[in-house]
Amino acid sequence: MRQPLAIAALITALVAGCASTPAPSPSVAVVETASPAPTARPTAKPTPTPLPTASPGIFAGQPYTLDLPEGWESFDLTSADHSASLDAFAKANPGVAGAMQALLKTPGVRIAANFLLGDVIVVLALPSQGLPLDSLGTSLTAQFKNVPGVGQKLVAKPVKLPVGDALHWNISVSSNQAGGGTIKVSESIYLVIDGTTAVIVEFVMPQGGVLPSESKIIDTLQFKP
């Protein structure tokens, strides 16, 4: 399971792409306020009522469901503007270019962006290879530490979600921008397992802090029967 290292590289490029992409004129203004960083949840919650989903087709065909509020849409990696942003990012960060290109070819990757807020959600479904949650978490922690630009000590914290037991990481990543200078993004990453399938959900915030709707979104994650 080598994709997580590539995810961190890709999402930094995606954030740079979102920042350079004009936001569409929204029909309803979206206003969110910052909230404290989430910590481990001591008890499981009942299955929540799904959020109104703006783009239900983003996760079609995947072994899970995830509801997004209005304002989120699929991030099309094949569009000319986004492809150019990714190419420029890869040239500015040659150490992660190979991993990023490998992830782009992975069929299980789904990406949503809120162009008004500049935030990104990356979801990846992978075979669990029969490994338990703790073992996969140890492997991911080691891979995250190898991502260029990750400077802090990483700790996987056990959390309880409606979908079941999970692990959670808070990560800060710095990378070079194509036009010079650096970009620093905050990432909130969850790992859940159901039988033979592992799902990684990554929230990415270019301005740091926490996505206010993160908790509501991750609580809608469910595996399909």
Q: Is there a contact between 72 and 162 (Cβ–Cβ < 8 Å)?
A: no
- Confidence (pLDDT) at 7: 52
How far is CA 207 from each of CA 15, 39, 45, 146, 199, rounded to the nearest angstrom?
10, 20, 29, 23, 25
Residue 33 lies in a domain: no
Residues 55-103 pLDDT 10s:
457 899 999 999 999 999 887 766 666 667 677 766 776 766 666 666 6
Residue 163 lies in a domain: yes
Structure-token pair, residue 219: 């609580």
Count how many domains the chain has.
Answer: 1
Q: Which residue has the higher pLDDT, 209 or 97?
A: 209
Residue 141 lies in a domain: yes
Residue 47 lies in a domain: no
Residue 189 lies in a domain: yes
pLDDT band at 30 (very low <50, low <70, confident <90, very high): very low
The parent domain of residue 130 ranges over: 3-24+54-223
Q: Which H, E and C letters describe the chain, residue by residue?
A: CCHHHHHHHHHHHHHHHHHCCCCCCCCCCCCCCCCCCCCCCCCCCCCCCCCCCCCHHHHCCCCEECCCCCCCEECCCCCHHHHHHHHHHHHHCHHHHHHHHHHHCCCCEEEEEECCCCEEEEEEEEECCCCCHHHHHHHHHHHHHCCCCECCCCCCEEEEECCEEEEEEEEEEEEECCCCCEEEEEEEEEEEEECCEEEEEEEEECCCCCCCCHHHHHCCCEECC
User: What backbone phi and psi angles, to 5 degrees, belong to 66?
Assistant: -150, 125
How much is the pTM?
Answer: 0.73
Residues 2-13 pLDDT 10s:
444 445 445 555
Q: Which residue has the higher pLDDT, 30 or 91?
A: 91
Q: Is there a contact between 200 and 208 (Cβ–Cβ < 8 Å)?
A: no
Residue 32 lies in a domain: no
- Confidence (pLDDT) at 185: 77
Residue 153 lies in a domain: yes
Residues 163-208 pLDDT 10s:
999 999 988 877 766 677 777 778 899 999 998 999 999 998 876 7
Residue 120 lies in a domain: yes
The domain spanning residue 125 has which CATH number?
3.40.1000.10
Q: Cα(30)–Cα(194) distance, rounded to whole angstroms?
A: 34
